[in-house]
């Protein structure tokens, strides 16, 4: 029975499903759906998945979407054992909690930052979106305390999902070094998850590049504007200092009666045109 996975490499959830499929040794027919060009809205795909989301799995007559559901289904159906997703109620519950943490807390905070940049024309990351993501990374750091992986010392589908998410925001340029457990865990995942570099890291890098390409120009612009403002401020202060020195010198040379400034006298400073500066996209 052939298994088809509709996949978008830049999508962390989509990479999760493909990682699990490959780890199980499945010969999956991967069909790329380019969300950037809205291929997911084509009638043929909408007929398969009316929510038009990726990943979407077609296994014979069975169709399933949502990455966590796909990962669990693949393990239950094709795995030789239940290591990646144990049947033990306690172990399974903990994995489920971590999966829900990803889908309900961590990934939405990543998406809140990146989606507007990729699809809505935003060119900056608001400060109010940074703290919630750092908070989520802090939670993950606590989960990993004393553990090699997110539910213990064995890699599971929860690690696959969370690694796909975290690697995406790291590729954007987010600094996870303050979270020592997260940083160490992500390195372990890269070593322990099969095909990590080819399937996950490559897609994460493409995602990060796409996001950075839309915000880098803003960073350059901010640096330019800040530099320009500092230059103008220094120029004004220098001019004031010169005037002050001249004033002192003139006071020493003339009496109060000899040096009179009329009320209608003024000094014109040439407009630098800073308000109309335009920085082109790079």
Which residues are designated catalytic? 11
Compute the distance between CA of residue 200 and CA of residue 208 in angstroms, rounded to an integer.
Answer: 12
């Amino acid at each position: 029975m052939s298994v088809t996975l509709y996949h978008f490499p830049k999508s962390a959830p989509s990479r999760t499903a493909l990682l699990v499929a490959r780890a199980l040794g499945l010969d999956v027919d991967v069909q790329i759906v380019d969300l950037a060009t809205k291929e997911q809205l084509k009638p043929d795909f909408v007929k398969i998945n009316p929510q038009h989301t990726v990943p979407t799995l077609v296994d014979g007559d069975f169709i399933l979407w949502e990455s966590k559901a796909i990962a669990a289904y693949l393990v239950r159906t094709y795995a030789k054992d239940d290591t990646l997703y144990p049947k033990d109620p306690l172990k399974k519950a903990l994995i489920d909690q971590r999966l829900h943490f990803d889908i309900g807390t961590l990934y939405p905070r990543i998406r809140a930052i990146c989606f507007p940049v990729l699809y809505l024309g935003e060119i900056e990351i608001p400060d109010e979106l940074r703290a919630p993501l750092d908070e989520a990374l802090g939670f993950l750091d606590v989960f990993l305390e004393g553990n090699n992986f997110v539910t213990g010392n064995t890699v599971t589908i929860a690690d696959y999902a969370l690694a796909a998410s975290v690697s995406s925001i790291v590729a954007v340029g987010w600094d996870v070094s303050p979270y020592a457990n997260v940083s160490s865990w992500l390195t372990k995942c890269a070593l322990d998850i099969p095909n990590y570099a080819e399937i996950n890291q490559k897609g994460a890098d493409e995602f990060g590049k796409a996001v950075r390409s839309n915000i880098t120009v803003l960073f350059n612009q901010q640096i330019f504007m800040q530099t320009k403002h500092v230059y103008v401020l220094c120029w004004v202060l220098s001019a004031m200092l010169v005037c002050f020195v001249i004033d002192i010198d003139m006071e020493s040379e003339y009496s109060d009666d000899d040096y009179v400034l009329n009320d209608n006298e003024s000094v014109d400073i040439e407009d630098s045109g800073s308000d109309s500066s335009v920085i082109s996209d790079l």
